[in-house]
Amino acid sequence: MKYKHYPNATKFITERLKKKFPKVKSKEDLGNIPAHLLWMMGKMQTFNDSGKAARWFGWILAHAEILGIMDNEKSRELVRKDLRENK
């Protein structure tokens, strides 16, 4: 899949979620945070408003850290890379 918003970070989080939760499927379900994160990252790619995508991605990053998918340092590294590459 080609990612429009935060491609490096989205790919990293998606791969880590699928590794940590092998049976996870994308679903709009706040009761299942891994599934909801996959759904949000997919939905976010449809946004034309980069500000809205950034707000959604902040929520995604925070929850990826809570789930232990990555730490804040990795989060910042990936977002910096995406911002540099997508100027």
pLDDT tens-place values along the chain, 87 residues long: 678 999 999 999 999 999 999 999 999 999 999 999 999 999 999 999 999 999 999 999 999 999 999 999 999 999 999 999 976
Q: Reduce the secondary structure of the chain to three states and give it as a string.
A: CCCCCCHHHHHHHHHHHHHHCCCCCCCCCCCCHHHHHHHHHHHHCCCCCHHHHHHHHHHHHHHHHHCCCCCHHHHHHHHHHHHHHCC
pLDDT at site 10:
97
Domain that holds residue 45: 7-85
CA distances to 32, 50, 72, 73, 76 from 35, rounded to whole Å, are 6, 23, 21, 24, 23
Domain presence at residue 46 = yes
Total domains, the chain: 1
Domain presence at residue 2 = no
